[in-house]
Chain A
Amino acid sequence: MMTLSILALLVAVLLTVNSGWYFIRRAGKKARRQALYALLAFIISVAAAAGHPGGGPGPSGSLQSQPRSQAQAPVQAPAGTPLSRESQTNPSPRREEAGKLRVHFLDVGQGDAILVQLPGGQNILIDAGTNEAGPVVVQDLKQYAVAKLDYVIGTHPHEDHIGGLDQVINTFPVGKVYLPRVTNNTASYRELLLAIKNKGLKVTEARAGVSIPLGDGVQALFINPAKKNYDDLNDWSAVLRLTYGQTSFLFTGDAGSAAEEEMLASHQPLRADVLKVAHHGSRTATGTAFLKAVAPAYAVISVGKGNDYGHPHAQTLKRLQQAGVKVYRTDRDGTITAVSDGREVIMP
């Protein structure tokens, strides 16, 4: 026991000095890890010196520290948003303490990809842009220190939403996958199903009334699709309403007017502080009645610069403006991050 404690103390001192030197040079990842090791070694040495029953605090201490270091990673990481896209002004470099929910509307050109990081460290990905944007999404998720995607949602089987999802699924460990029960004949959709199958995953159907068991004081409920059939794949969009404390978000995919009517008729709560505007701000979504029910303070439009489809449509922008909503756009603002502490939502 004595030999062990001396040895551990020696290691602790050595590592502390070493990591201290690293901290002076730069507070890099390596230094943080070394500091953690030093702390661990110190704890072990103290425990050993105190003469606790052999093996007690040591291993349990090390077991506890490791997940904690992982939980801290995603909290610190968002400070380093993708470098090429820092056109938007981030709020002051506040200390990113725990207890915050972060929603990153990733700039993927024409398409959707949204990363939700829960206060407890879980990650939800809603869509992953086009095939072409797949590598960008993978890169972004790494930047936000995503080690695992606990929940992956493909809102509907259009290429600008699910195109990059197979690449994401092939890259990261995935918990559960949610898709609406409708298919498309594209290679993109087939590749998504194959990626899911090859990983041994099963798809959970996304439909109105299905909730995602999140914990952390976060609730997530699908409020669309409600019907068994729609003419347009857009109206099949899995629409998710997420609440954290008194704050709420509505992610609408590409849901069009038919889906909006269904959602309004269902009398589910629609209100949200932040609305992800459906279908890249197209003319045929975000109707006046729907907008009134959601009553958002902020809206985010995920849209590509100079796209061929006239998104966002002037009429939709006008409706948002008349409703007094502050609009953010990925084509102008780049990736947009909303932060909620459960009481209010802070936008860039």
Chain B
Amino acid sequence: MRRHELLVIDRFEDDMAVIEYGQRTFNLPRSLLPRAAKEGDVIKLAVVLDPEATARRKKEVRSLADEVFEKG
């Protein structure tokens, strides 16, 4: 896959946006897109890691696991 392939909104199917990326398409929930997004719009995706939320979730799951597992 070439790096400079555009991400284009091909269409909407109910609450899903179908995004074309090179030769393939994938779905994004419409709620993740700006309200103004429409068919044919080229989008940019910026994926940012969230270390704080990761730490919070990890803590939550671990304490739940501690409750649920038999005490060894």
Listed in ascending order, the chain A residues whose CB lies under 8 Å from chain B are 130-132, 158-160, 183-188, 232-234, 282-283, 308-311
Contacts and interface: CB of A to CB of B under 8 A. Distances in A.
Contact of A132 (B10, B16, B24, B27): B24
Given A186-B8, A187-B5, A187-B8, A309 B14 contact: yes
Contact of B13 (A131, A187, A188, A309): A309
Interface of B: 5-6, 8, 10-11, 13-14, 16, 18, 20, 22-25, 27, 39-42
A232 B38 CA distance: 9
A283 B14 CA distance: 9
Contact of B16 (A159, A233, A308): A308
Given A132-B24, A159-B20, A185 B14 contact: no
Contact of B23 (A131, A184, A308): A131
A309 B41 CA distance: 20
Given A131-B23, A185-B42, A282-B13, 4 more contacts: A159-B11, A186-B40, A187-B8, A309-B14
A186 B25 CA distance: 11
A308 B39 contact: no
Given A185-B40, A185-B42, A308-B27, A233 B11 contact: yes
A183 B5 CA distance: 19
A92 B66 CA distance: 65
Contacts of A158: 10-11
Contacts of B20: 159, 186-188
Contacts, number: 51
13 contacts: A130-B25, A131-B24, A158-B10, A159-B20, A185-B41, A186-B20, A186-B40, A187-B5, A187-B23, A188-B10, A233-B39, A308-B16, A310-B14
What DSSP secondary structure best describes chain B's contact surface? strand
Contacts of B14: 282-283, 309-310
A184 B39 contact: yes
A187 B20 CA distance: 8
Nearest to B13: A309
A159 B10 contact: yes
Contacts of A130: 25
Contacts of B25: 130-131, 159
A130 B24 CA distance: 9
Nearest to B5: A187
Contacts of A186: 8, 10, 20, 40
Contact of A187 (B6, B16, B27, B41): B6
A283 B42 CA distance: 27
B40 to A, nearest CB: 4
A232 B11 CA distance: 9
A194 to B, nearest CB: 14
B27 to A, nearest CB: 5
Contacts of A184: 8, 10, 39-40
A173 B55 CA distance: 60
The 8 closest A-B pairs by CB, nearest first: A309-B13, A185-B40, A186-B20, A159-B10, A186-B8, A158-B11, A131-B23, A186-B10
A159 B27 CA distance: 13
A185 B8 contact: yes
Contacts of A233: 11, 39
